[in-house]
Amino acid sequence: MEKEIELISSLEIIEELVKTLKNFKISMSDDIIKEWKNLIIDNSIIVESPSKIDAIKEDSDDNKFIEAAIYGKANFIVSQDRHLLDLKEYNRIKIVKPEEALDLINIQN
């Protein structure tokens, strides 16, 4: 039996992605940024957090990732953000680097 990987996101996270892509080191056209945004929206479970989490004090803007993971019932958050990675886990949701996520996916299959 194959397990699916589901991407969980929120409108706040997608807004941050667009902002990041607009300021990316390699210039991207608005059309390419729109394609990325639509790709995420079309392939994600979009959640809206009914309440705010205050787990990361150093960069409270990162809490939106934890909120999406909680309300989307995620098993883990994949990130390279130091503030999230320093937390390691929240509410039994592991916070891992991309290469660690690949190991977890292989173990679960």
Three-class HEC string of 42-106: HCEEECCCCCCCCCCCCCHHHHHHHHHHHHCCCCEEECCCHHHHHHCEECCEEEECHHHHHHHHH
In a domain, residue 1? The reply is: no
Q: Provide the residue range defining the domain that includes 92.
A: 7-108
How many domains, the chain? Answer: 1
| Banded model confidence at residue 4, pLDDT cuts 50, 70, 90 | confident
The pLDDT value recorded for residue 106 is: 76
Return mean pLDDT, the chain. Answer: 91
In a domain, residue 21? The reply is: yes
For residues 68-76, average pLDDT = 95
In a domain, residue 31? The reply is: yes
The pLDDT value recorded for residue 49 is: 87
In a domain, residue 22? The reply is: yes
In a domain, residue 58? The reply is: yes
SS3 of residue 58 by DSSP: coil
- pLDDT tens for residues 34-47? 999 999 999 999 99
| Banded model confidence at residue 109, pLDDT cuts 50, 70, 90 | low
